[in-house]
A and B are shown apart, each in its own frame.
Chain A
Amino acid sequence: MQTDLRRSALSVPAGGRPVPARELRRGSGRPVRGSSQVLPLLVLALFVVFFVLPVLWLLLAATKTDDQLVHANPLSFGSLHALRANWDALTAYQDDAILLWLRNSAVYSFLALVITLCVAVPAGYALAMTEFRGRRTLLVATLVVMLMPNATLVVPLFLELNAVHLIGTMWSIILPYAFYPFGVYLTYIYFSTALPRELLDAARLDGCSEFGVFRRVALPLATPVVALVGFFSFVANWTNYFLPYVMLPQSDQFPVQVGLGTLLDSVPQFNPTAAGTLEVQRPELALATLLAITPVLVVFLFSQRFLVAGMLAGATKH
C-alpha cells in the first residue's frame, strides 16, 4: 500500500520540476556548498577508518610473527615466510583442527541452506499467490518469529532437542538453521510484487497442475530471490555462535566460529593458564579469524547488488 505511494512519488519525472527553480538553487546554493562540504567529508572519512582499519589490520597481522605484531608498525606487511609459519603452526593445532572446523561450518551451513531453500521458496510462493485456510495466521507467525532475535530460543531449543536425544548430532543445529522465516518473508514479498497472477492463470488454463505452475512458471522467475535467501541464510548460519556452542559439545564437531573460541583459550596473552601446553600465538589466531570470515567476505564482495536489494527488502516492500 505505502509502497505504491512511494513508487508513484519516485516516478515523478525529473522534467516535471519547474526549471527556473532548479536554476535558482544552483545559482544561490553553490558557494555555501563548497565550504560546508569539508566537514562532512572529514566525518565520512573518519568512519571509513573506523570500519576498514581493523579489517586491514587483520589481513596484515596474519603475515607477522608475534614479535613483529608488537614491535612493528601495525599497518606494515610482515613476510610470506611468517605467513607460512603461522599457517603451519595453526594447522598443527590438534591435527588440522582448523580445517576440520571449516569443513564442519561448510557442511552445516550448506545442508541448512539446501533445506531452507526447498522449504522457504514454496512457502513464500503459497503465501503470496494462493489462498488457503490459516494463511494469515501463518504469515503473522512468520513475521513475529522473523523479528525475534535468533538467540532467544537457544536454551529452549536445547531443552527440546535434549528430550529427543538429538544433542551432539549435526541435526541439532542444521534443523534449527533450516527454519528461516526471514527467507519465507523475502520470497513472499518477491512473489507478491514481481510475479503477475495472470501468468499463473494462463498456465493453469493451459492445463498445468498447481505444482506444475510453481515449477514451470514461478520458480524460473524466482532466481534473484533464491540467490538472496541463499546468501542471507548462508551468512546467518556461518556466523552463528550461540546455537552450536550449546548444542555441540565435542571439539571435532565445532563449526569454525566456536573453534575460534577454543583457539582463544590457548593464546597465552589472553589466557595465562594456557602457557606451555598447546600454545597458539596471536598471529595464528588472526590467521584463523581470517580463514573463518573468508567465505562470507568472498560472497559479500561478489554480491553487493543483491545485498543492497535484500537489506532494503527487509525494511520495505518494493
Chain B
Amino acid sequence: MTAHSPGTGRATAPGTRRALWPGRSGQAFVGAYTVLLVAFGVVPTGYAIYFAFTDGGGNFTVLSNFTEAVSDFRFASAVGHVALYLLWWLVSLVVLVVGLALLLHRLAATGVSRALRFLYYVPGALAGAASVMVWLFVLDPTVSPAGVLLRALGFHTFGEVIAPGHLPVLFTLIAFWTGAGGWIVVMYGALNNIPADILEAARIDGAGAWQTARRIQIPLLRKWIVYMVILAFAGGTQLFVEPQLLSQASVGVAGRDYSLNQLAYDFAFQNNDVNTAAAVSVELLVVGLVVAGVFVARSGFFDAD
C-alpha cells in the first residue's frame, strides 16, 4: 500500500504511525465525495465533449460543431465583448485592489482600516442577480443616488447609460463592486505577512511610502496578484447573469448574446442545438481547465503534500 512508501506522508512520528495506519479507511472517508466529483465534475465534462464531437443522431462529426459555433454571426462579437470586459476588469482589479490594500495597510494601527475592509466587503453579500438589480437602479439617472454624476457626464436616460459601448465598463463596475472587497481582504492579509523588519530596513534607508510599495511590497505581493488575476480571468470568461438581466431590463437592446455563456445557452434552449452549445461549453471548459491546471502545477500555491 502507498502507506508504506517512504516518500509520502508527513514526517511526524513515522515509525509508529505507519504501523497503525490501515490504508483503506481513507478511501471510505472520501467515497461520497468521489462519487459527487465524478457525477458533477468528470461526467459532465465527458458529456460535453461527447456532444461537442457528435451530431443529433450520435454520429462522430470531427469539428463541424466547433466550426458552426465559430462561424455563427454572434460568436466573434461575443469573444470580443468578453475580451474587452476582461481587459477592463483585470486592469481595474489589479490597480485598485493593490492600491487600496496598500493604503489600508498604512492605516493599520488606527482601527479605521478594519472598519473600511468590512465596508468594502459588504456588497459581496449582493453577489449574483441582486447586484444587477441594484446597478440597474444606480445606472438609471432618474432614480440613481449618483444621478447628479450621471447627468454631469451627459447621461439623462437609462438607455443612454447602457449604450452598447459602455457595457464592458458597466459590467466591470458591477463585478468590482461585489468582488473587490474580498480581494482587498486577501491582499491586506498578504501585506501583513511581509516581515516588519524588511519594511523597517527600507525606512531606515530612506524609502518613502511610494518607494516601499513599488520596490518591496508589490514585488512581494506578486504571487497573490497572479492568483487574483487568474481566478478573475477564469471567472470573467463565464460572464452570464449581468448581461442576461441587463438585456431583460432593456428589452434586448443591450446585453443580448453578449457573452459566450449566453451564446451557449441560446444555442441549447433557443435553437435546440445542444451539440453546438456543447462545443461552446467545451471551449470555455478548456479555458477554465487550462488556467486552473497551469496554476495548480506552477504556482506552488497548492503543494499537494
User: Chain A interface (Cβ within 8 Å of chain B)?
Assistant: 1-2, 6, 9-10, 12, 14, 16-17, 21-22, 24-25, 29, 32, 36, 40-41, 43-44, 47-48, 50-58, 61, 69-70, 74-75, 118-120, 122-123, 125-127, 130-136, 138-149, 151-160, 163, 175-176, 178-179, 181, 184, 192, 196-198, 201, 204-205, 210-211, 214, 235, 239-242, 245-246, 257-258, 260-261, 264-265, 267, 269-273, 282, 285-286, 289, 292-293, 296-297, 300, 304, 307-308, 311-312, 314-316
Contacts and interface: CB of A to CB of B under 8 A. Distances in A.
A149 B261 CA distance: 12
Given A25-B203, A151-B261, A240-B128, A119 B249 contact: no
Given A74-B145, A181-B41, 4 more contacts: A14-B196, A151-B261, A258-B129, A273-B251
Contacts of B41: 141, 145, 153, 179, 181
A131 B21 contact: yes
A147 B44 contact: no
Nearest to A192: B10
Interface residues of B, number: 127
B79 interface: no
Interface in B99-148: 99-100, 103-104, 106-107, 116-130, 133-138, 140, 142-147
A300 B124 contact: yes
A166 to B, nearest CB: 11
A98 to B, nearest CB: 13
A52 B128 contact: no
B62 interface: no
Interface of B: 1-3, 8-10, 12-13, 16-17, 20-30, 32-34, 36-37, 39-41, 43-45, 47-48, 51, 99-100, 103-104, 106-107, 116-130, 133-138, 140, 142-147, 158, 177, 181-182, 185-186, 189-190, 193, 195-197, 200, 203-204, 208-209, 224, 227, 230-231, 234-235, 237-238, 240-241, 244-245, 248-251, 261, 264-265, 268-269, 274, 277-278, 280-281, 284-285, 288-289, 291-293, 295-296, 300-305
A44 B122 contact: no
A157 B44 contact: yes
Nearest to B23: A132
A152 B71 CA distance: 22
B39 A154 contact: no
Contact of A156 (B227, B281, B289): B281
Contact of A143 (B138, B268, B292): B292
Residue from A53, A142, A285 having most chain B Cβ neighbours under 10 A: A142
Contacts of A74: 143-145, 147
Which DSSP category, helix, strand, loop or mixed, fits chain A's interface? helix
Contacts, number: 347
Given A25-B200, A140-B304, A312-B189, A51 B130 contact: no
Nearest to A290: B130
